[in-house]
Amino acid sequence: MPTITLVSARPDQKPVIANLIQLYLHDMTEFMPFPVGVDGRYAYDFLDRFWRFPYLIMSDDEIAGFAPVIDECPLTGRAPCWFMAEFFVLKAHRGRGLARAAVQQALQAHPGQWHIAVPHANRPAQTFWSEILAPQNPTSRDIHFDGDDWRLREFVTG
């Protein structure tokens, strides 16, 4: 079993996460439309906004994904409140408990109030977060934000 670690991304690793975001958005086009620009890349304008507590998910020494965490909830405006801005694990690393370990490490690194929100259209992510967060016993509610319907999960970590 590989060692799974959540590693704080350095500023010089921002392009690495920007590249991974392209794969993340590609995966999500199955559920949500993300047009490709004239440069052949998906548009993503949030990396600077979400670059507060950026993490790379590592499987031994190999990059397996990313998880930027921010200290406010953009859907509710609540601050302080930890928010998993995005979460992505490369397909080659899925189904082996890596994501669960990475989420647990993120929650431990940032104790307090948490919000995790997922668009209703992303059913696989809805199932994933429902299972991963079950030990946290979150309260869930639906919220409309920026033209989409979301499931917002709220909980507190110690």
The whole-number average pLDDT for the span 35-61 is 96
CATH of the domain at 63: 3.40.630.30
For residue 32, the model assigns a pLDDT of 85
Average pLDDT of the chain, as a whole number:
96
For residue 71, the model assigns a pLDDT of 98
Euclidean distance between the first and final Cα of the chain, in Å?
Answer: 28
Identify the CA nearest to 88 among candidates 157, 6, 1: 6
For residue 134, the model assigns a pLDDT of 97
- Which percentage of the chain shows pLDDT scores above 70? 100
Whole-number Å distance between alpha carbons of 32 and 119: 9
> Number of structural domains, the chain?
1
For residue 31, the model assigns a pLDDT of 85
Residue 125 — pLDDT band, cuts 50, 70, 90? very high
Q: Do residues 113 and 80 lie in contact, with contact meaning Cβ atoms separated by under 8 Å?
A: yes
* Structural domain containing residue 43: 4-157
Which residue shows structure tokens 């995966």? Answer: 27
Phi first, then psi, for residue 56 (nearest 5°) are -100, 140
Taking the model in full, what pTM does it have?
0.95
